Amino acid sequence: MANIKKVTFLKADWFVGLLVALVFLFSANSDLMQSLERKAYDIGVRASSRVPSEKIAVIAIDDESIANLGRWPWPREIQAMLLDILASGQAKVVGHTALFSEPQVDSGLEYINKIGTLVASSSLKQSSPAEWEQLNVILLEAMSHLDNDMKLAESMAKSNAVLLGMLFELGEPQGKPDHPLPDYVLKNALTNVGDGTAGASPILTNGTQVPIPILGSLALAIGHLNVTPDVDGGIRTEPLVLSYFDQYYPSLSLMLAAKSLNLEPKDIQVSLGQGVKIGNLNIATDAMSRMYTYFYNDRDGKPAFQVDSFYDVLTGKIPAEKYRDKIVLIGATAAGVGALQVTPISAGMPPVLTLAHSVSSILKQDFFVVPGWAFWAGKAIFLLIALYLILLLPRISAGIGAAITGSLFVVLLVSHFVLMTTQALWLELMLPTSLLLVGHLLLTTKRFLVTEQGKIKSDADSAESNRMLGLAFQGQNQLDMAFDKFRKVPVDDSLMDVLYNLGLDFERKRQFNKAESVFKYMSDYNPKFRDLEQRLNQAKAMSETVMLGGTSGKSNASTMVLDKAGVSKPMLGRYEIEKELGKGAMGVVYLGKDPKIGRVVAIKTMNLSQEFEADELEDVKARFFREAETAGRLNHPNIVTMYDAGEEHDLAYIAMEFLKGKDLVPYTKRDNLLPLPKVLSIVARVADALGYAHGLHVVHRDIKPANIMYDIESDTVKVTDFGIARITDSSKTKTGMVLGTPSYMSPEQLAGTKIEGQSDLFSLGVSLYQMVCGKLPFEGDSMAQLMFRIANEPHADILSVSPNVPPCVVAIINKALAKKMDGRYQTGQEMAEAIRQCAATLQ
């Protein structure tokens, strides 16, 4: 009897309602629910309509400007010219989103400075004062002409209206700062900060990246450019204030608004957790001093903010008078320059336009507000919906329940959008709305299955529900579960279309045995359907083929069958695979295409499950994506651009820039060596790329001719495979192979000690040696002998192989191949400079 009561209790409708309510309550802060809340927020933003501030103008560093002025970053003299134009047009303030955190030194200026030092220390002043004075004047003119930072500083001084950006490193400080901030940054600190909501605090930071002194000291003001993405990666808020140790600093948007009103940082009042006041403007913020930015929709087919081309303003096509008394924002919109931001109205908005929306939100008071009572109102509504599901819905008929649920659903949605569009208030109502829909669906489905349907002993899954579930599983790429559901639906002509698409999906996933099962199931109903007979025969023939595999096993294991008529192109992630380009040590390289944007890519694959033991596979996967993320941040003309990384069926892949040409291996053969000037030019550019990567604390670990791509027609050099060598750090593959080629390894790499940038430069020195004379500097009869010679013996004198090698090339090779790291070039830039100086003497 007790067991019967227990079962009855578990089947009670009110218990199911209570259980659903508890599940939703505990999932309120989950990524899924928070993402749903923000999607509803975005719809509310797009549904509202307001007019942006007419005071804001945007000047874009766009594709047209880069096509006419050259690759970004431009010489700062060009920025100075634009500031002079805006100053002549009497712009109110100018906000520049570029980070001027490093000096821009013209290579010629370094030589002028050296000549100046030499002249100053010479006896020319005493022996020939007139000539010394004339030479000194020429040197000063040359310095002034080549000093781009000074030109920009002079233009900023003339304008006295330029605001610059800086970045903070987010994170809680653990002690005191390493260095005090410069005075030109300190003067922007907010001093009028008062307590507001208990426990409220701006976002904490522990580091800064500020403009260089010559520019920062002449800026009218400086504000931060940090953004705080939401859980789904979208930008919806603007952190108006950040906390740096015991100081508070404003955002660039806040400073632009203040300066446009002729106000200083001391005039900005901050009430923590409540709002910010500048002049007569009151901006409501959340507990972290973030403003919910209003994003303005396009109106009448025109963008919210008119965006002018930098080049058009510079050349006078757009008159400077247009910007009189305007807040001018300068920033990049060109493809590949900066990272686009996801906002409620755009999937890819340039940061300068996000800044424009933020400034307008401040000046027009067009931000959204989360009222203080929103939290308790949301909880109360959630409780009412839960009580409805637990107490009322189980006691009323299905028709009345559907009417009440529908009414409540409409009320919640209408309330959400009315509050956002008319009152600019945001209440998180998606949690109770989702609870209402899911709870009603579960309870009515349970009632139908257990009570009404139980009277007639029929199948628990109706044909329509199985069809819908199957389509849902198919949409989520759970093809096996989709097929299971479709087999519970009576076959008819409409289902045949669905099954045919499912078979094609299995083909794209290279699961030809499962595609064969689907086509067999279809042929039992109608073997003449479309090209079903041909599809079935192809699936049978290819069911044993391994698609996109590693290099282990059969020699043809990685070959793709793409030339068969009617075979769907296989997919890897979101990429269509076009053909095989080649095979490497651990995988195959394919030519792929992103069908959504038409981008052609090279896809390097690594079958991790075949190459690594099971106990280290998860660690290797984590390291793979970590290294891929690091390499993906590299942005250099001589480094292959990485677009994407992913995993499918234990097959890790990296999608990268598709390059013409081939690697340098063919040019290391004695009968096919490139001319020495060309070799020096190639190696210098590789050294530049390594120097850039080392500056970002990224070490390649496997520099060799095979990882350097060269297009002889366009004279383009690209370094590939950044981060790949580190994937198996301290690990061995199943085949016993450690990544990295021993012939090119540095002594410290063979010794297993800490690897730094000088290790890559040693490997580059080995590659230079081989490309000059066609032989390796270290050779051995066995792997052990080779590794011993690299670690302990000097390299073979290149003159013994090729006596005509110039002395400066010999010196570069000898220094690059020094056994100890401190004896080599310390940076890639240093090695590149030495090579170019050598090449200049050869000319």
Residues serving a catalytic function are 702
- Specify the DSSP element, H or E, that contains 241: strand 241-244
Read off φ and ψ for residue 27, nearest 5 degrees.
-100, 10
**Mind giving me the DSSP string for 428-474?**
--HHHHHHHHHHHHHHHHHIIIIIIGGGTT--SS-HHHHHHHHHHHH
Cβ proximity of 665 and 706 under 8 Å: yes
d(CA 329, CA 55): 11
Partnered with residue 369 across adjacent β-strands are: 425
Partnered with residue 241 across adjacent β-strands are: 250
d(CA 73, CA 126): 44
CB-based contacts of 122: which residues, under 8 Å, 6+ apart?
Answer: none
d(CA 580, CA 548): 9
State the sign of the Cα–Cα–Cα–Cα dihedral 651, 654, 655, 661.
Answer: negative
Antiparallel, parallel or unpaired: β 192-194 and 268-271? parallel
Cβ proximity of 253 and 56 under 8 Å: no
DSSP 671: G
CB-based contacts of 471: which residues, under 8 Å, 6+ apart?
Answer: 482, 498
d(CA 304, CA 307): 9
The H helix count followed by the E strand count for the chain is 31, 26
**Residue 74 has which token pair?**
């431009």
3-state helix, strand, coil split of the chain in percent (to 5) is 50, 15, 35
Q: Which long-range contacts (CB under 8 A, 24 or more apart) does 388-396 make?
A: 388/436, 389/17, 389/20, 389/21, 389/435, 389/436, 389/439, 389/440, 389/443, 390/14, 390/17, 390/18, 390/21, 391/14, 393/13, 393/17, 393/439, 393/440, 393/443, 394/12, 394/13, 394/14, 394/17, 394/443
Measured distance between the N- and C-terminal CA atoms of the chain, rounded to whole angstroms = 102
d(CA 666, CA 664): 6
d(CA 466, CA 630): 44
d(CA 673, CA 680): 12
Other beta carbons within 10 angstroms of residue 565's beta carbon come to 7
Helix (H, G, I), strand (E, B) or coil at 351: helix
Partnered with residue 205 across adjacent β-strands are: 170, 244
d(CA 5, CA 10): 9
d(CA 750, CA 699): 15
570 residue type, one letter: P
Cβ proximity of 143 and 110 under 8 Å: no
Strand order in the sheet with 281-284: 192-194, 268-271, 275-278, 281-284
d(CA 651, CA 561): 18
Provide the residue count of the chain.
Answer: 843
**Reduced 3-state DSSP string for 165-231:** EEEEEECCCCCCCCCCCCHHHHCCCCCEEECCCCCCCCEEEEEEECCCHHHHCCCCEEEECCCCCCC
